[in-house]
Amino acid sequence: MSQLRRCGWQYFLERIVRTPSRPSVPAVAGQVVHTGTEQVDRLLHTGQTDPRVLLQAASTDADAAVQAAIVEKSAAGWEPSKWKAFGRATAEKPVGEDLQWFQAQGIPQSLVAYVEWRMETMWTLAEIPHFGAAIEVPFVYYTNSGNQVHGWIDRVFVIDGELVLLDIKSGQKPKTSEQLGLYAAALRNGLGWNVTTGYFLYGLKHGEAKLTKPLDLTVWSDERLSRLYDMSSQAIEAGIYLPNPGEACWSCSVSQHCEFSQAAI
């Protein structure tokens, strides 16, 4: 849904037409970082608190995830040199933040920053019945009109007896708390958990673990979320896909097939 609202034409090309997507380096790297942070939290949950062990395990998983992505994308005809790099090329970064940059700097810096942040905070993971530690928790949320929204909740922690949500971003801070609000609603409707507060952790790829202020998630009622997602569903059913050329075109996975990307400046 966020892709649909960010650029309807990208959604149309990628998900309706099924235009072959050029792999995006930052998207792949973000998934790799998530893989590493999951390993950190799983080990912490078992009682492992040695930061060297945590970082080594995370790095090993991340390296394996990078190699798996290279094999997968290459089999589809996309060698790493053809992947979409982040942003525009500069004199300092002739190909932007490409895969080599992420392998050498972005991913290692992200994992170090996350391990340091976790060792500093030592937040306790919540336990979900019949699932276990609240890491990458799958959910299906139903809107008032019956539409289904599928997703995964990065983390649910317990701080001073209160449940709080955390979503991890290797790059920039999101511009809205909607994602966390959806997670809170899914937990409320699925488990009866009343989660009113959440955080984004961001900036990891530059070696920083920046935490937002506590975000009030009570504004995301079922009625508000249903309006948002049901309107999006109506736009899809009506075939309304508004293009939004701009800065995002430089990292778009289907821009080479898009007649509007030429307008980006």
pLDDT value at 95 more than 70: no
15 DSSP assignment: I
Q: Is it the case that residue 179 has pLDDT exceeding 90?
A: yes
Kindly give, in sequence order, each residue whose CB lies less than 8 Å from that of residue 114, ignoring residues fewer than 6 positions away. 33, 36, 37, 40, 58, 168, 201, 204, 209
Which CATH code for domain 20-263?
3.90.320
d(CA 92, CA 129): 50
Q: Write out pLDDT tens, residues 31-43.
A: 999 999 999 999 9
* pLDDT tens, position by position, 36-81: 999 999 999 999 999 999 999 999 999 999 999 999 999 999 999 8
How far apart are alpha carbons 53 and 92 in whole angstroms? 34
Rounded mean pLDDT of 122-149?
Answer: 96
Question: What residue segments make up the domains of the chain, in order of their start?
Answer: 20-263
Classify 123 as helix, strand or coil: coil
Helix and strand numbers, DSSP H then E, in the chain = 8, 9
Rounded to two decimals, what is the model's pTM? Answer: 0.91
Mean pLDDT of 120-145: 96
Q: Which two tokens stand for residue 63?
A: 């390296």
